[in-house]
Amino acid sequence: MSIGCRDLRVSAGGRELVSVPALDIPAGETLAVLGPNGAGKSTLLRALAHLGTASRTGTVLLDGQAATTAGLRRAVAAVLQRPVLQRTTVLDNAAAGLRLRGVRRGEARRRAGPWLDALGVAHLATRNARTLSGGEAQRVAIARALAVAPRVLLLDEPFTGLDATTRTDLLADLRAALDRQDAAVLLVTHDREEARALAQRTALLVNGEIRQLGPTAEVLDAPADLECATLLGFTTQLPPALTGQDGMLVARPERCSPLDDSTPPPPDTVVAAGVLRRAVPLGGATRLDVDTATGPVTAVTTADVTFTPGSPIRIAIAPEHLRTCAPAAAPDAPSRNG
Amino acid sequence: MDVLGDGLLEALRLLLTGDEDTWAITGLTLRVSVTATMIAFLLGVPTAALLALGRFRGRRVLHAIANTGMGLPPVVVGLFVTVLLWRSGPLGSLGLLYTPTAMVIAQAAIATPIVIALTAAALQQVDQDFLLQMRALGATRFRALGALLMEAKLPLLAAGMAGFGAVVSEVGAAQMVGGNLAGETRVLTTAAVLATSRGQFALAIAFGLVLLIIAFAVNLAITIAQHRQLAAR
């Protein structure tokens, strides 16, 4: 089953939070909605499921047809950002989604068990859910949603607050679990790596509007405007006045290297000259904040840094690491869907 | 000291030998107070859910009124119920004054605000995203609310017990609307007052002991429930 929307607008307190002219997620596909905090990601997710109290206009589609709230309840299961578990055992929590849909206790437990196993928490089945760690609780919450065999699965930042190892393990287990289903999956996240690991397509949501939408690898590597560039980690931004080239150039700081005075820049390399404001050791790398004629530029290098604050410095960026993008979209600019 | 000591001994004898009057009074006390508590629960829990979860104008004022109602003096409740049921009152034609039904009405009026206030507080303490998550798993509104009540079942039990504890031990309303008629509306509290006024201290102490045992059982149940809840966290 596919899920989508047309002219979906959500507002609260007289302010428009989300405006999405069109979005479609076919069955079997995972779409990541990537955006900064406050972009409206969770609001969009809740609006697609007819959840919450925010004012909503537009149409949510299931298999191309306008969906009712009752239809969405049957088709959709959502995992909220913070795992909300019931005061009972892990197994009964995993079975709760089925129980809420009218399945008998024994049958619900029987169907939920394998999902605890798939998410790696079967050994906790008899534990009280309130004694779980954050990572364990999130695994149970995901197992609970998957157990209802939803035709649409909505995941709201399911990896938030987890330590790196737990997150990596859960990513792998979730990927494997999603491969077992034919659901349309919407993953809300602010993490590029989560989108890369789980989603075939990615939408960039900024200020409640989808600015880019396309295959994940393409979207993550080609920001359309400066806000998207910042979101995707292209935070070194070089205006035409600095580079002498047309358009705003952006690059990831780790792709920007300091040049020695004696080193001529390689051909086609863009060089930004300025004064080193500070060098911050990051453990294995050093972040260099450079003041140029047009503003600050940041580089991250693993080379030994001999520059001292206040000294002139040149930052070189190879052409393959540069992207050209439009200025930040005006607040009332139309959204772009690819 | 003799009065107290002799009174205690005589009270224990009355209880252990199965004094008919004492146990009849105890039976009526439990019947009236349990019925009143059940009515308070049936009225109070939906009202509390509305106050705790609803979004409507005046909700906070109603919540404050319910909280104030927790301290409602039983005598005041007894007064209003008496006026309502008085022969020339609005409900006088029902002929309920000085019957156990009148006592149930008065005690339900005392217990309901207690159940509302404590239940509303219990529901507000459940994770604020609980209902949303239940709905997000496909629950209807009704099933999601059921899950919420199950989640708060121990505090709800405590609310019911607190309501019961308040009505089983009150004397003012029971005296005013029941009239303390022997064999008809005499309950433990009114019987203890009467026995004391007559100097029948052993009987009064016996009634007091039964009340204490009931109060202890209620508090024991609440304490066990609370400990179970704490252990589950």
Residues of A in contact with B134 (CB under 8 A): 96, 100
Name every residue in B having a CB less than 8 A away from some CB of A.
55, 127, 129-130, 132-140, 143-144, 147, 150-151, 229, 232-233
Neighbour-count burial of A241, counting CB atoms closer than 10 A to its CB (0-12 exposed, 13-18 middle, 19+ buried): exposed
Q: Do A97 and B138 touch (CB under 8 A)?
A: yes
% residues pLDDT > 70 (chain B)? 97
Do B179 and B194 meet the contact criterion of CB atoms below 8 Å apart?
no
- According to the model, what pLDDT value does residue A81 have? 87
- Residue showing tokens 């589950």: B232
d(CA B69, CA A92) in angstroms, rounded, equals: 38
Give which of A177, A134, A176 is closest to A157, Cα–Cα.
Answer: A134
d(CA A120, CA A231) in angstroms, rounded, equals: 32
Question: Which residues are bridge partners to A189 per DSSP?
Answer: A34
The mean pLDDT of chain B is: 89
| A154 contact partners, CB below 8 Å, separation of at least 6 | A45, A48, A49, A76, A77, A78, A79, A185, A186, A188, B136
d(CA A203, CA A168) in angstroms, rounded, equals: 22
Query: Does A165 touch chain B if contact means CB atoms closer than 8 Å?
Result: no
From the candidate CATH numbers 3.30.1300.10, 3.40.50.300, 3.40.190.10, 3.40.50.720, the one assigned to the domain spanning A3-221: 3.40.50.300
Boundaries of every domain in chain B: 23-187
- According to the model, what pLDDT value does residue B229 have? 65
B95-115 residue pLDDT tens:
899 999 999 999 999 999 999
Query: Does A87 touch chain B if contact means CB atoms closer than 8 Å?
Result: yes
B127-167 residue pLDDT tens:
889 999 999 999 998 999 999 999 998 888 889 988 999 99
Which sign, positive or negative, has the C-alpha torsion B171, B173, B175, B181? negative
Burial A192-231 (b: 16+ CB within 10 A, else e): bebbebbbebbbbbbbbbbbbbbebeebbebbbbbbbbbb
Neighbour-count burial of A9, counting CB atoms closer than 10 A to its CB (0-12 exposed, 13-18 middle, 19+ buried): middle
Closest to B138 (Cβ–Cβ): which among A73, A79, A128?
Answer: A73
Statement: residue B226 has pLDDT above 80: no
- According to the model, what pLDDT value does residue B201 have? 86
- Write out the residue limits of the CATH 2.40.50.140 domain(s) in chain A: 229-325
Q: Do B147 and A80 touch (CB under 8 A)?
A: no
Question: What is the CA angle A234-A235-A238, rounded to 5?
Answer: 95
% residues pLDDT > 90 (chain B)? 48
d(CA A64, CA A4) in angstroms, rounded, equals: 7
Give which of A263, A243, A326, A257 is closest to A290, Cα–Cα.
Answer: A257
A260-310 residue pLDDT tens:
777 777 778 888 888 889 988 888 888 989 988 888 888 898 888 788 888
Instruction: Count CB neighbours of A320 within 10 A.
Output: 9
DSSP string, A57-108: EEEEEETTEEPPHHHHHHHEEEE-SS----SSBHHHHHTHHHHHTT--HHHH
Burial B187-205 (b: 16+ CB within 10 A, else e): bbbbbbbbbeeeebbbbbb
> E-strand spans in A119-232?
152-156, 184-189, 201-206, 209-215
d(CA B154, CA B175) in angstroms, rounded, equals: 32
Low-confidence residues of chain A: pLDDT under 50: 331-338
- According to the model, what pLDDT value does residue A336 have? 42
d(CA B21, CA B15) in angstroms, rounded, equals: 10
B166-199 residue pLDDT tens:
999 999 999 999 989 988 999 999 999 999 999 8
User: How many residues are given for chain A?
Assistant: 338
Q: What is the dihedral of CA A261, A278, A230, A300, to 10 degrees?
A: 50
Closest to B137 (Cβ–Cβ): which among A46, A52, A144?
Answer: A144
Give which of A174, A203, A168 is closest to A189, Cα–Cα.
Answer: A203
- According to the model, what pLDDT value does residue A327 have? 64
Q: Do A77 and B150 touch (CB under 8 A)?
A: no
Kindly state the helix (H) or strand (E) to which residue A6 belongs, with its residue range: strand A3-12
Count of A-B CB contacts under 8 Å: 62
Do B167 and B110 meet the contact criterion of CB atoms below 8 Å apart?
yes
Question: Which residues are bridge partners to A205 per DSSP?
Answer: A210
Q: Do B133 and A97 touch (CB under 8 A)?
A: no
Categorize the per-residue pLDDT at B232 as very low, low, confident or very high, splitting at 50, 70 and 90: low
Kindly state the helix (H) or strand (E) to which residue A251 belongs, with its residue range: strand A248-251
The ipTM value here is 0.81
At the top level of CATH, the class of B23-187 is mainly alpha
Give which of A52, A56, A59, A50 is closest to A17, Cα–Cα.
Answer: A56
> DSSP code of A21?
E
d(CA A105, CA B200) in angstroms, rounded, equals: 57
Question: Which residues are bridge partners to A30 per DSSP?
Answer: A185
Give which of B27, B11, B89 is closest to B214, Cα–Cα.
Answer: B27
Statement: residue B63 has pLDDT above 70: yes
- Residue showing tokens 């009972």: A88
Domain A229-325: CATH superfamily, name plus number:
Nucleic acid-binding proteins (2.40.50.140)
> DSSP code of B94?
G
Q: How far from A35 is each of A42, A162, A220, A233, CA to CA, in Å?
A: 10, 19, 12, 12
- According to the model, what pLDDT value does residue A338 have? 38
> DSSP code of A320?
G
- Which tokens sit at B154? 């121990």
d(CA A204, CA A171) in angstroms, rounded, equals: 20
Q: Do B140 and A73 touch (CB under 8 A)?
A: yes
Query: Does A48 touch chain B if contact means CB atoms closer than 8 Å?
Result: no
- According to the model, what pLDDT value does residue B100 have? 95
Closest to A84 (Cβ–Cβ): which among B129, B138, B229?
Answer: B129
Search chain A and give the residue with CA nearest B230: A130
